[in-house]
Amino acid sequence: MARWNRYVVGADSLGRSAVLSTEPDPSSVQSKEGYYWRATLWATEEMPPDNSIEGDRSVGIARREPAPGGMLYRALEIPPDRADVEEHKSELTALNKQVEQKYAPTEADLARHPSMHRTDTLDCITCVIGEIYLVTDVDEVKMVPGDSVVIRGTNHAWSNRSDRPALLVGTMIDATQA
């Protein structure tokens, strides 16, 4: 999996804009070779975000969803789907436990795709590299670089049917559900 740079710009000690950080904190990266690589690039625990809070706000973020009232900004690299569907399900089930997945996928969800999941968030995601299928309960859409999706707290999955990794970048914002 590729490793991507992240630049954080803020005020230096003299109040001038400056690059304060150039890469994600290692504790904000989660990966399983052949299954996923993701980095939390930034996080907040409040809305609107408070830019006066010092330090790297992405440090140690491992959960899938943002804190209540917060936001996560992430990069997600997804390799081609695994040929062994049961192994794919098993690895992603383990990931769901690790990231404190709030809603466990049903057997019907997993039959649709091993990565099917749902969060209580508003997700705004753009395909940056490669191609990937956005899978919903009833639809599939092939996304290519420049395509974006807004996911409003519903089931979805990512299926990479190509022979190259795909990179998605997006923001997850805590949201209320009906």
Indicate whether 178 pLDDT > 70: no
Distance of CA 149 to the CA centre of its chain: 13
Distance between CA 152 and CA 74 in Å, rounded? 17
Q: Report whether 88 contacts 158 (CB < 8 A).
A: no
More confident residue, 2 or 137: 137
pLDDT band at 60, cuts 50/70/90? confident
CA–CA gap between residue 138 and residue 140 (Å, rounded) = 7
pLDDT band at 27 (very low <50, low <70, confident <90, very high): confident
CA distance 159 to 166: 10
Q: What is the DSSP string of 99-134?
A: TT-SSPPPHHHHHH-TT-B--SEEEEEEEEES-EEE
Q: Tell me if 74 sits within 8 A of 126, measured CB to CB.
A: no
Q: Which residue has the higher pLDDT, 73 or 177?
A: 73
Range 69-90 average pLDDT:
91
For residue 52, the model assigns a pLDDT of 92
Asked if residue 117 lies in contact with residue 101, where contact means CB atoms within 8 angstroms, the answer is yes
Does position 63 have pLDDT exceeding 90, yes or no? Answer: no
Handedness of CA 118, 144, 78, 39 (dihedral sign): negative
Spatial contact of 145 and 130, defined as CB atoms under 8 Å apart = yes
pLDDT, one tens digit per residue, over 160-173 is 999 999 999 999 99
Runs of H (alpha helix) within the chain: 85-98, 107-112
What structural domains and CATH numbers belong to the chain?
24-174 (2.60.120.10)
CA dihedral over 52, 41, 92, 119, signed as positive or negative: positive
Q: What is the pLDDT of residues 88-146, one digit of tens each?
A: 888 888 887 887 888 888 999 989 998 899 989 999 999 999 999 999 999 999 999 99
